[in-house]
């Protein structure tokens, strides 16, 4: 019995999962004590000196891992928000003991995965929380991956200190995170860093130009962009030259350039597998970010899976908690532990069609029939367009007010005889003139008709917190595995904006070079709207809004152009993909 017991313990310590008696395991099990986990910080050298203090920058990587003689893979979240803003629906921040040992690791990843044989590493982007350097998110994350693979040095202090090795790590890493953290994961994958096996970007940015500039039209002034609000006190001063250099490279005229090309990760989809999540009601990171990246992954043959909801800027953990945790568990087991659980062969897309109603699909977007709809001067939207429409730009009014008939040209189609599903990335072609040398364009596609939907119209998340909690993993007094439950935040409305797009008319010929407009001259410009997957019920009407500066999106500090736009409706159209609704 002693011999058998010793043999069983050896299997557990070397495998990281509970062995099955007659078959290879397909799921990691919670066999390690969370309250006995090793908690430490490694300050990892990045090889750069972005803050120009004469020392190599060090990224603070807080680690929690099983206390056992076993090598484990790492789940990595690289974020600038651990001190300033918090993570998750409850805005959790990192906390530390008096001696600096990390205590609370935000989110549930540590509580759930450490007992199952994973390390969780939460790294502070350069210049944030306990890291030195400046905001180089991909460089910060890649330095940690290099350390986990024995290719970078780390120490047990911000300066000096003793060397810290990751001899406990297998070197296999999965990068996860929402919003900026998700963008970092996408950028790391695009860099081709060795050891990064999978990424889980949640509402993540893949094209940084499209996030801050709409087809030549900057959404904010340079003073109101960037990451300086996340800096620690030291970096806020030392990183001023670094930030000034970035802004100079980015430019202020809305032109696409070499800098924006370098931070557009869509053409470099990478080789790491991808589990992505996106809300079609997200106006913080619009769904066109997901759609372009998803298409690139498909072209590159990258293993991929997606969770697509009708919510806003929201983590799937707060939409379908049990199913998301299970999916994430199986995904990491497959790509970090190598367990053959078949997750990559299951339907690739988990789609919410209406609040709390989900379906599984083999692919996205679906095959659709392309339809071009054209506005007419009488306010209709159909197969033929005619006439003109004039709009005086008013940057104090946004697209929701446009939909109600204020400060934009509004066109609506006939009531639909049957329900239709709009899916994919709509596009518009606009022919217009301006009475000034510059003009912004705003376009929105609207579903007019009574409905109940998640509350996302004005940057809402589409969820609301309940008073109860559910627990996902093990807890300590300093780090609870129990989180507020949520429910769909549903509102009734007479319309819903389902896609939108923005542009600078001066970039009609090329995003690389804008030009002053000749007042009165017509220009034609085509661009994509935000991606969507939306069912328009029978009896509803499709609507098209043509406007100028969208006050709901653009920074009020931007120059007021004061222009009046005249649209040539016969040469203006919106193209959408149509198909039958999923049942």
Burial class (CB in 10 A: 0-12, 13-18, 19+), 248: exposed
Please report the pLDDT score of residue 6 as a whole number.
Answer: 36
Confidence of residue 10 (pLDDT cuts 50, 70, 90): very low
Confidence of residue 583 (pLDDT cuts 50, 70, 90): low
Residue 531 has pLDDT above 50, yes or no: yes
Q: 418 versus 224: which is more confidently predicted? A: 418
Average pLDDT over residues 283-295: 98
Task: Please provide residue 385's backbone torsions phi and psi, each rounded to the nearest 5 degrees.
Answer: -120, 155
Please report the pLDDT score of residue 465 as a whole number.
Answer: 97
Which candidate, 564, 580, 204, places its Cα nearest to that of 369? Answer: 580
Chain centroid offset of residue 205 CA? 5
Residue 140 has pLDDT above 90, yes or no: yes
Average pLDDT over residues 187-204: 98
Average pLDDT over residues 25-43: 96
- Residue 553 has which token pair? 């999106």
Residue 22 has pLDDT above 60, yes or no: no
- pLDDT tens-digit readout, 433-471: 999 999 999 999 999 999 999 999 999 999 999 999 999
Please report the pLDDT score of residue 16 as a whole number.
Answer: 47
> Which domains, ranges and CATH numbers included, belong to the chain?
37-361 (3.40.50.1820), 369-579 (2.60.120.260)
Q: Report the alpha-carbon distance of residue 301 to residue 49 in Å, rounded.
A: 37
Contacts of 327 (CB under 8 A, 6+ apart): 275, 305, 307, 343, 350
Average pLDDT, the chain: 95
Q: Report the alpha-carbon distance of residue 541 to residue 359 in Å, rounded.
A: 25
Please report the pLDDT score of residue 196 as a whole number.
Answer: 98
Least confident among 16-20, 129-133, 270-274, 356-360: 16-20
- Residue 331 has which token pair? 């995904």
- pLDDT tens-digit readout, 418-441: 999 999 999 999 999 999 999 999
Residue 481 contacts residue 489 (beta carbons within 8 Å) = no
Residue 4 has pLDDT above 80, yes or no: no
- pLDDT tens-digit readout, 35-73: 999 999 999 999 999 999 999 999 999 999 999 999 999
Please report the pLDDT score of residue 24 as a whole number.
Answer: 76
Is 179 a catalytic site residue? yes
Residue 504 contacts residue 514 (beta carbons within 8 Å) = yes
Average pLDDT over residues 237-245: 97
Q: Which of 207, 282, 333, 393 is catalytic?
A: 282
Is 345 a catalytic site residue? no
- Provide the percentage of residues in the chain whose pLDDT is more than 70: 96
- pLDDT tens-digit readout, 536-574: 999 999 999 999 999 999 999 999 999 999 999 999 999
Q: Which of 50, 313, 350, 508 is catalytic?
A: 313
Average pLDDT over residues 151-161: 97
Is 228 a catalytic site residue? no
Average pLDDT over residues 157-163: 97
- Provide the percentage of residues in the chain whose pLDDT is more than 90: 93
Confidence of residue 411 (pLDDT cuts 50, 70, 90): very high
Residue 403 contacts residue 496 (beta carbons within 8 Å) = no
Q: Report the alpha-carbon distance of residue 305 to residue 332 in Å, rounded.
A: 12
For residue 537, the tally of other CB atoms under 10 A from its CB is 14
Average pLDDT over residues 145-156: 98
Please report the pLDDT score of residue 235 as a whole number.
Answer: 97
Instruction: Give the Å distances, CA to CA, from 360 to 308, 352, 357, 373, 413.
Output: 10, 9, 11, 30, 31
Confidence of residue 14 (pLDDT cuts 50, 70, 90): very low
Average pLDDT over residues 125-145: 98
Instruction: Give the Å distances, CA to CA, from 109 to 118, 120, 125.
Output: 9, 7, 19
Which candidate, 256, 226, 257, places its Cα nearest to that of 242? Answer: 226
Please report the pLDDT score of residue 256 as a whole number.
Answer: 98
Q: Report the alpha-carbon distance of residue 66 to residue 160 in Å, rounded.
A: 27
Q: Report the alpha-carbon distance of residue 330 to residue 336 in Å, rounded.
A: 10
Q: Report the alpha-carbon distance of residue 191 to residue 50 in Å, rounded.
A: 19
Confidence of residue 283 (pLDDT cuts 50, 70, 90): very high
Torsion angle (degrees, nearest 10) of CA 176, 181, 182, 187: -100
Q: Which of 131, 132, 179, 425 is catalytic?
A: 179
Q: What is the DSSP string of 267-289?
A: T---SSEEEEEEETT-SSS-THH
For residue 431, the tally of other CB atoms under 10 A from its CB is 18
Secondary structure of residue 121 in the 3-state scheme: strand
Residue 525 has pLDDT above 70, yes or no: yes
Contacts of 291 (CB under 8 A, 6+ apart): 365, 424, 425, 531
């Amino acid at each position: 019995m002693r011999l058998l017991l010793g043999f069983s313990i050896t299997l557990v310590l070397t495998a990281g999962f509970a062995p099955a008696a007659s078959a290879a395991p397909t799921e990691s099990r919670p066999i390690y004590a969370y309250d006995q986990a090793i908690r430490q910080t490694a300050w990892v050298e990045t090889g750069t000196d972005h803050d120009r203090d004469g020392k190599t920058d060090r990224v603070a990587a807080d680690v929690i891992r099983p206390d056992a003689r076993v090598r484990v893979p790492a789940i990595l979240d690289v974020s600038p928000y651990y001190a300033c803003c918090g993570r998750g629906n409850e805005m959790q921040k990192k906390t530390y003991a008096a001696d600096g040992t990390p205590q609370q690791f935000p989110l549930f990843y540590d509580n759930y995965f450490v007992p199952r044989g994973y390390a969780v590493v939460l790294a502070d982007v350069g210049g944030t929380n306990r890291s030195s350097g400046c905001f180089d998110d991909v460089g910060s994350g890649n330095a940690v991956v290099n350390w986990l693979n024995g290719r970078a040095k780390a120490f047990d202090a911000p300066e000096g200190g003793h060397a810290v090795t990751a001899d406990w790590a297998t070197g296999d890493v999965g990068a996860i995170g929402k919003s900026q953290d998700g963008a970092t994961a996408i950028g790391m994958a695009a860099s081709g860093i060795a050891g990064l096996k999978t990424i889980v970007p949640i509402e993540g940015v893949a094209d940084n130009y499209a996030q801050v500039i709409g087809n030549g039209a900057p959404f904010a002034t340079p003073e109101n962009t960037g990451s300086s609000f996340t800096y620690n006190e030291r970096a806020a001063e030392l990183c001023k030259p670094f930030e000034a250099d970035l802004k100079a490279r980015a430019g202020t005229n809305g032109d696409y350039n070499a800098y924006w090309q370098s931070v557009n990760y869509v053409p470099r989809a990478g080789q790491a597998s991808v589990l992505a999540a996106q809300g079609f009601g997200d106006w913080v990171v619009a769904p066109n970010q997901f759609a372009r990246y998803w298409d690139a992954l498909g072209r590159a043959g990258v293993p991929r899976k997606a969770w697509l909801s009708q919510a806003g800027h929201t983590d799937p953990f707060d939409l379908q908690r049990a199913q998301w945790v299970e999916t994430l568990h199986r995904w990491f087991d497959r790509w970090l532990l190598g367990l053959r659980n078949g997750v990559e062969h299951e339907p690739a897309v988990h789609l919410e069609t209406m609040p709390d109603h989900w379906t599984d699909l083999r692919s996205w977007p679906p095959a659709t029939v392309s339809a071009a709809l054209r506005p007419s001067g009488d306010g209709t939207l159909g197969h033929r367009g005619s006439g003109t429409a004039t709009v005086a730009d008013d940057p104090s009014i946004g697209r929701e007010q446009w939909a109600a008939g204020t400060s934009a040209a509004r066109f609506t189609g006939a009531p639909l005889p049957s329900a239709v599903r709009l899916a994919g990335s709509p596009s518009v072609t606009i022919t217009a003139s301006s009475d000034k040398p510059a003009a912004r364009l705003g376009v929105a596609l609207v579903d007019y008709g009574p409905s109940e939907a998640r509350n996302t119209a004005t940057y809402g998340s589409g969820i609301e917190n309940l008073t109860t909690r559910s627990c996902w993993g093990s807890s300590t007094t300093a780090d609870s595995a129990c989180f507020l439950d949520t429910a769909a935040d549903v509102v009734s409305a007479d319309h819903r904006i389902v896609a939108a797009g923005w542009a600078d008319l001066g970039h009609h010929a090329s995003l690389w070079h804008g030009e002053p407009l000749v007042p009165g001259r017509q220009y034609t410009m085509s661009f994509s709207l935000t991606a969507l997957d939306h069912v328009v019920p029978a009896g509803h009407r499709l609507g098209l809004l043509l406007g100028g500066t969208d006050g709901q999106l653009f920074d009020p500090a931007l120059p007021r152009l004061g222009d009046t736009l005249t649209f040539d409706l016969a040469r203006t159209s919106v193209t959408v993909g149509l198909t039958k609704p999923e049942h």
